[in-house]
């Protein structure tokens, strides 16, 4: 059985992770919009676009990893 302090720590950690997930999703969505707008520009810097797309993929990986930590394994 867990004591109250342990439960509070778990709750705080869960809240921090949920907040981080929310921020990552916002950044991912914003990047998606920027990439979409830049893709319409005929004079786009291809290297910059490539970097943005790579950053977006990194964010997606972080989101997926955090979601899997937050969502209890249904098979457990």
Q: Is residue 37 part of a domain?
A: yes
- Domain count of the chain? 1
The distance from CA 3 to its chain's CA centroid, rounded to whole angstroms, is 31
User: Domain residues for 35?
Assistant: 4-68
Q: Is residue 41 part of a domain?
A: yes
CB atoms inside a 10 Å sphere around CB 59: 20
| pTM (predicted TM-score) | 0.77
Closest of 7, 16, 23 to residue 63, by C-alpha: 23
Per-residue confidence in pLDDT tens, the chain, 76 aa: 668 888 888 888 888 999 999 999 999 999 999 999 988 888 888 999 999 999 999 999 999 999 998 877 655 5
Q: Is residue 76 part of a domain?
A: no
């Amino acid at each position: 059985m867990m004591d109250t302090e342990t439960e509070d720590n778990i709750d705080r950690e869960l809240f921090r992770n949920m907040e981080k997930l929310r921020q990552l999703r916002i950044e991912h969505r914003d990047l998606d919009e920027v990439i979409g707008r830049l893709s319409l520009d005929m004079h786009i810097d291809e290297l910059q676009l490539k970097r943005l797309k790579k950053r977006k993929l990194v964010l997606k990986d972080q989101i997926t990893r955090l979601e899997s930590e937050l969502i209890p394994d249904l098979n457990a």
